[in-house]
Each structure stands twice: as C-alpha cells, then as structure tokens.
Structure 1
C-alpha cells in the first residue's frame, strides 16, 4: 500500500492523537518487551493518570505483571524501585499466543495434525435399536 497508517490506526500502535496527548507527561520507565510507560496529570478521583505505549501491536497481554500493577495503582512507585528483585525460579511473563504458530494445541487438535490416542476399552458406541 505504501501509506504509513500508524498515525491513524490504533491497532498498529499509538495514534497521532495519543502522542499529542502525552506532551508534558513524564516517561517513567520501560519494560523488557520495549513498552514505554508514562505518568502525568490526574483523573477525576485525583489519582495520577498512567499510560503504556506498546512496542508493536496493542495487546494487553504483552504488559509485564509488575507494570500491570503499576498501571492499575496497585503499587505507587515504579516496579524497579517498589518491588523486590525477582526470584531465580520465576519465569518471565509470556504474552497470549492464541492465533500464532506458537499457540498451544493439544493432541487431537486440527492444528496439531488431528491425530489423537485411540479410545480405551471403556467406551461403547451407541447404536439405534439397542
């Protein structure tokens, strides 16, 4: 197509209106996926307004859990300062993979080949007239 639709389409990232709205707001941090977080002004309850600008497609499952808590005012300070360091056994958050080639497909699913284990001996097919 050759036209940059990003300034006009919300599903490809922040629109031009969002960028104008972020003027004067403070950038507070960035997560491991490259999403950038802003804070500034206040809402009708007096709480500070908080935003995320996604690095890539707008998908809420791509927000790290600690930043989700910050966005929803569950923690007051930036996660790097407010939360303890991650435990060595903790794994990084994974975005929702539904609709991608990496999505979970159990045995028997059409996307996984459609083959499933044969039924065990506890199943009897019903036939009419029995």
Structure 2
C-alpha cells in the first residue's frame, strides 16, 4: 500500500490510526493467510479485546475458522493451544470467492455459456383465464 493512501484508508489494510491504537497490545498469533491477531485491554463486559489485522483486503471471510472462534471468545486460548490438530480429511478454509474468476458458477450460468438443461415437461404455466 502506498504511503499516501495508508493514513486514510481502512479497506486495504490497517490505517495509521489502527497501528497507533495497537501500541501496547500483545501480538498473539498469525494464521496461514498472514493475518495477525492481537489482544489487550478489556471491553465494557470485562472480556479481553481482540483484533485481526488483515494481510490484504479487509474481508472477514479471510479469517480462518479457528481464529474466528478465538476472536468471538468461543475459546479462551489461542487456537494452536486450545483446539485439536486438524483432521486429515479437513480442507483448508477458503475466503469468499464471489466476484472472482474462481467463484462457483453452475452449468446454466452466463459465464459458463448460459446453456441450461431442457425442461422436463412437468411444468405447466399458470394463466389467469384457466
């Protein structure tokens, strides 16, 4: 990110205000996507405050499920210590791919040629005169 854009934007990463706000907070970990997680201070309910600084665009679907549970106080300790190791059959988490070339497109989608399967004949259109 350019030095001129950083003071004013939040959608492409942490602004300078966020960086100053994280002074004195503890860095607790990093996920496979490069997002960094912090903890420090207390909220009004007495729970510890927790943050994520995204490595790239600010998109909450880019938070790994185990870190999501930590951010939302579903587990008390960081995921590497609080959760069991992933199973061999589990796939790694993916961010939301909507709007990208890797998005899911069913066979009838315009991006895949727009050819739908023919109707089976079990549909009869409603008409007001019938």
Q: TM-score, normalised by structure 1?
A: 0.90
Q: Report the Cα distance in structure 2 between the residues aligned to 1:7 and 1:41, rounded to whole angstroms.
A: 24
Large movers: runs of 4+ above 2 Å: 121-130
- Alignment match, 2:71: 71
> Could you say what the CA RMSD is over the residues aligned between the two structures, in angstroms?
1.9
Secondary structure in 2 aligned to 1:68?
A: helix
- Alignment match, 1:16: 16
Correspondence 1:36 to 2:36: yes
- Alignment match, 2:104: 104
* 1:50/1:129 CA distance change after superposition, 3 Å: closer
Structure 1 residue 45: Cα displacement: 1.1
Structure 1 residue 122: Cα displacement: 2.6
Structure 2 unpaired stretches of 5+: none
In the comparison of the two structures, how many residue pairs are matched? 129
- Alignment match, 1:27: 27
Secondary structure in 1 aligned to 2:29?
A: strand
Q: Report the Cα distance in structure 2 between the residues aligned to 1:29 and 1:79, rounded to whole angstroms.
A: 9
